[in-house]
Amino acid sequence: MIYCPRFSAHVVTPPEISIVIPVYDEEAVLPALFERLYRALDALGRAYEIVFVDDGSRDRSPLLLREQHARRRDVTRVVLLNRNYGQHMAIMAGFEQARGSKVVTLDADLQNPPEQIGVLLAAMDAGHDYVGSVRRGRQDRFLRRNASRLVNALRERTTRIRMNDHGSMMRAYASHIVRSMTRSRETTAFIPALAYTYAVNPVEVEIAHAARAAGRSKYSWLTLARLNFDLMTGFSIVPLRLFSLGGCLVALASALLFIYHLARGLMHGPQVDPVFGLFTVVFFLIGVVLFGLGLLGEYVGRIYLQVRDHPRFVVAAMLDTAPAADPERR
């Protein structure tokens, strides 16, 4: 650290690598993470910093992070958010602080082995500005794995984003991508997809995947559905278009059905149970209309969140030994 009296500020050489880790109620796994993460990073022999972002944890995670900060003040920085904003916004808060020219994101639960960070960095050294990962031998439940496969396939068809495993959060980004993301001001950003839109030379590498080391997943089916709606509606209006097209087809089909019933009635007299047939059609149409309204609501909701222009997150405290990040990053 060089002290520069003229501006009375500390000038710190930025590290090469910033590791950003979102933490939400992870007290059970943090000790094991600290143990493996620092060892793996020290072994790389590159200058690094770790930016932990506490996403409004209700357990002892903030305390454990404070202790770790005191133990490894040289490379540890902690952002404490005032409440829970979700994994992607927590990562965004970490991005705002990251100073490295390469930024790596990782989950706290050791599902992404820290020992494999070098694999991502090697791909960056080879000239890629965005390195995604494909989870080898994915260790999640059967239903979750298959739902994820389905959403990946859907995303591949409805957006311009080309990747094999958008749910894998172990990734590396060049700092220009991180800067573009923090400037984007989107309140419901799906980070892997957003980064892809700014990348020049993206690639994916295979990374091992482990079962969660301790604690429970922070995603319920509901929050997962929310997240994937963010992905679909954030990067494509194909769902809206498909819906309009579907609406036209359904309208056409019901018109044909009406003509058919009318013709049959005229030829053979009143049918046995027309009420039943009518109800079936009406319920189907109501279902379609409600789904459409919901879909429209997703887009309107995004516009609402955006025009409200609230801060995306509020940093309650920052444990740091160095000056705040480059203001250009904000």
Residues in contact with Mg ion by CB under 5 A are 107, 109, 111
Q: What is the end-to-end Cα distance of the chain in Å, rounded?
A: 23
Residues 6+ apart with CB under 8 A from 170: 104, 105, 106, 107, 112, 116, 120, 133, 207
- Residue number, 128 or 172, with CB nearest to ligand UDP: 172
Alpha helices by DSSP H, listed for 269-325, are 274-308
- Residue number, 85 or 196, with CB nearest to ligand UDP: 85
- Residue number, 109 or 165, with CB nearest to Mg ion: 109
Residues 6+ apart with CB under 8 A from 315: 79, 80, 81, 82, 93
24 binds ligand UDP (CB under 6 A): yes
- Residue number, 219 or 299, with CB nearest to ligand UDP: 219
23 binds ligand UDP (CB under 6 A): yes
State which of positions 46-85 bind ligand UDP (CB under 6 A).
55, 84
Q: Which of 17, 18, 19, 22 binds ligand UDP (CB under 6 A)?
A: 22
Beta strands in 15-168 (DSSP E): 17-23, 48-54, 76-81, 102-105, 130-136
User: Least distance to ligand UDP from the beta carbon of 75, Å?
Assistant: 19
Instruction: State the helix-helix crossing angle for 191-198 and 175-183, rounded to 10 degrees.
Output: 110
Strand 102-105 with 130-136, pairing:
unpaired
User: Least distance to Mg ion from the beta carbon of 309, Å?
Assistant: 32
94 binds ligand UDP (CB under 6 A): no
Q: Which of 15, 18, 26, 235 binds ligand UDP (CB under 6 A)?
A: 26
User: Least distance to Mg ion from the beta carbon of 107, Å?
Assistant: 5
What's the rounded Cα separation, in Å, for the pair 146 and 66? 38
- Residue number, 143 or 303, with CB nearest to Mg ion: 143
User: Least distance to ligand UDP from the beta carbon of 164, Å?
Assistant: 17
Q: Which of 68, 76, 87, 175 binds ligand UDP (CB under 6 A)?
A: 87
104 binds ligand UDP (CB under 6 A): no
Q: Which of 107, 165, 186, 230 binds ligand UDP (CB under 6 A)?
A: 107
**Given strand 171-174, what is the order of strands in its sheet?**
202-208, 130-136, 171-174, 102-105, 17-23, 48-54, 76-81, 315-319
Nearest CA to 22 among 57, 72, 74, 71? 57
- Residue number, 136 or 241, with CB nearest to ligand UDP: 136
Residue 62, CA distances (Å) to 55, 59, 122 in order: 9, 8, 32
The stretch among 20-28, 184-192, 194-202, 286-294 that binds ligand UDP (CB under 6 A) is 20-28
Count of residues touching ligand UDP (by CB under 6 A)? 17
Instruction: State the helix-helix crossing angle for 238-268 and 142-158, rounded to 10 degrees.
Output: 90
What's the rounded Cα separation, in Å, for the pair 272 and 150? 42
Helix (H) or strand (E) holding 242: helix 238-268
The one of Mg ion, ligand UDP, none whose footprint includes residue 46, by CB under 5 to 8 A per kind, is: none
Instruction: Enumerate binding residues for ligand UDP (CB under 6 A).
Output: 22-24, 26, 55, 84, 86-87, 90, 107-109, 111, 212, 217-219
